[in-house]
Amino acid sequence: MLNMNMMMIAGSNRTNASSTCLLRYIEGLLKNRKISVTLVDLREQPLPFFSPDEQELHPNVQRVLEAASNADGLILATPEYHGSVSGLLKNALDYMNAGHVAGKAVLSVSSAGGPVGVSSLTHLQTIVRNLHGVNCPEWISIGYGSNAFDPDGAPLDEGMRSRIQNAVEQFVELTGMLAAKAAAAN
Ligand SMILES: Cc1cc2nc3c(=O)[nH]c(=O)nc-3n(C[C@H](O)[C@H](O)[C@H](O)COP(=O)(O)O)c2cc1C
């Protein structure tokens, strides 16, 4: 199997955000499989508002784009905001083009205040499609926000842990297939 390299983008601007907590949990699952992971937390590494006029890229933007370019697969995390993606994550994605995402597997995950937040996930899948990425057939939505995790950062619900495990396995398998295809083409 190829040595895989994943990039994760945490799209909440909240301290102890549940969507970021979910990413950290997934990061642990990937690292258990000896997969290398770069996590960009947009709260800790804020990006200026994207402007097509701006020629010079902020160092944080350069880091995000470099990590995306080097990644075999991406995981995007957002809070459910008014049935959509956070502005923070959308802004980061506006910096990207197909060169960063095309042909790569992308897993979308969300955290909602209500029981489920799939509207943001649907919107993320549309954005990924427009960047020519390959949406993972599974996605992850955790409900009831920060009540969903134990103090060690693991989801409290056993069914949720199992769904996350399954989605991550499918994402890793898809990433491996697409990365092997890309390697063979080069
Ligand atoms: C501006 C705003 C809009 C929100 N819209 C929704 C919504 O449409 N549906 C929902 O279930 N929760 C909504 N929520 C609640 C958040 O999705 C919830 O608090 C989530 O857990 C936040 O994720 P985070 O902890 O990763 O920041 C909203 C919260 C804010 C601040």
- Residue 1's pLDDT is 58
- Burial (CB count <10 Å: 0-12, 13-18, 19+), residue 130: exposed
Number of domains in the chain: 1
Q: How far is the CA of 173 from the centre of ligand 1 (A)?
A: 30
Scan for tokens 């508002």, then name that residue.
49
Q: Burial level of 144, CB count in 10 A (0-12/13-18/19+)? A: middle
pLDDT for res 117: 86
What confidence score (pLDDT) does residue 56 get?
95
Q: Where are the alpha helices (DSSP H) in 4-86?
A: 18-32, 59-70
Q: pLDDT (tens digit, 9 = 90+) per residue, 43-101?
A: 999 999 999 999 899 999 999 999 999 999 999 999 999 999 999 999 999 999 999 99
Q: Does the model's pTM come out above 0.75?
A: yes
Which two tokens mark 168? 């991550």
pLDDT digits (tens, 9 = 90+) for 125-158: 999 999 999 999 999 999 987 788 998 999 999 9
Domain that holds residue 79: 5-185
Distance 53 CA to ligand 1 centre (A): 31
Name the residue type at position 165: Q
d(CA 30, CA 27): 5
Give the CATH number for residue 92: 3.40.50.360
pLDDT in tens, 101-118: 999 999 999 999 998 889
Kindly report the protein residue whose alpha carbon is nearest to atom 24 of ligand 1. 17
pLDDT at 139: 97
| Helix then strand then coil, % of the chain, to nearest 5 | 45, 20, 35
Atom of ligand 1 nearest to the CA of 11: 26
CA of 161 to the centre of ligand 1 (A): 21
Q: Going by C-beta distance under 8 Å and a sequence separation of 6 or more, which residues neighbour residue 115?
A: 143, 144
Neighbour tally for 101: CB within 10 Å = 22
Q: Is 82 in the pocket of ligand 1 (CB under 6 A)?
A: yes
CA distance 143 to 135: 21
